[in-house]
């Protein structure tokens, strides 16, 4: 958009009261904005949000199973395969057949993977700090807690 806002050009503001009065729409806009910024920050490290979240989970859960991660991240198994395969090709992740049950893939980070995730976490911390600065520590913590409450709900199943 040009530097002059629509308001500057004398246009009437949109009445957005209904949508902005709903949690659903507002969560959606927040997610778009936060991810837009996040994707841009992470691009320098050649990581997508999904890849970053996978690396984080393997870092804190060495030897975890692929299907377990996919389920938690709401990524369908067939879509999860090329994600992990890509990370393995880049020497960030190691896949190993479980010895107790050879159907499973146990996942580990390589030394390089640990370095990459450590640096990427700094990028995330920067964004989180930016948000905390704008909201204030107390409101930020309350926001996170409320969101975690929503995240734990099983909306479709509860109906």
Partner DNA sequence: TATTGTTATACTCTATAACTATA
Partner DNA sequence: TATAGTTATAGAGTATAACAATA
Binding site for DNA (CB under 7 A): 2, 48-50, 65-67, 70, 75-81, 84-85, 95, 101-105
110 binds, among a copy of itself, DNA, none (CB under 5 to 8 A by kind): none
| Runs of H (alpha helix) within 5-154 | 17-20, 23-43, 49-60, 66-72, 77-89, 111-135, 137-152
158 binds, among DNA, a copy of itself, none (CB under 5 to 8 A by kind): a copy of itself
Quote the CA–CA distance of 92 and 86 in Å, as a whole number.
9
Query: What would the two tokens of residue 90 be?
Result: 């880049």
79 binds, among DNA, a copy of itself, none (CB under 5 to 8 A by kind): DNA
Q: Is residue 86 a contact residue for a copy of itself (CB under 8 A)? A: no
Residue 41: name the closest of 125, 142, 97 by CA: 125
Stretch that binds a copy of itself, among 9-17, 82-90, 92-100, 108-116 (CB under 8 A): 9-17
């Amino acid at each position: 958009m040009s530097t002059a806002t629509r308001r500057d050009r004398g246009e009437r503001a949109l009445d957005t009261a209904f949508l902005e009065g709903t949690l659903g729409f507002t969560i959606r806009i927040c997610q778009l904005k936060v991810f837009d910024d996040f994707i841009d920050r992470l691009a320098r490290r050649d990581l997508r949000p999904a890849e970053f979240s996978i690396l984080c989970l393997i870092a804190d859960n060495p030897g975890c199973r692929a299907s377990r991660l996919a389920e938690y991240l709401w990524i369908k198994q067939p879509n999860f395969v090329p994600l992990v395969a890509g990370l393995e090709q880049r020497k960030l992740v190691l896949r190993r057949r479980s010895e107790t049950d050879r159907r499973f893939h146990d996942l580990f980070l390589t030394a390089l993977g640990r370095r990459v995730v450590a640096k990427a976490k700094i990028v995330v911390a920067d964004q989180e700090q930016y948000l905390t600065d704008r909201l204030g520590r107390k409101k930020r913590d309350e926001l996170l807690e409320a969101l975690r409450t929503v995240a734990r709900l099983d909306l479709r199943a509860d109906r």
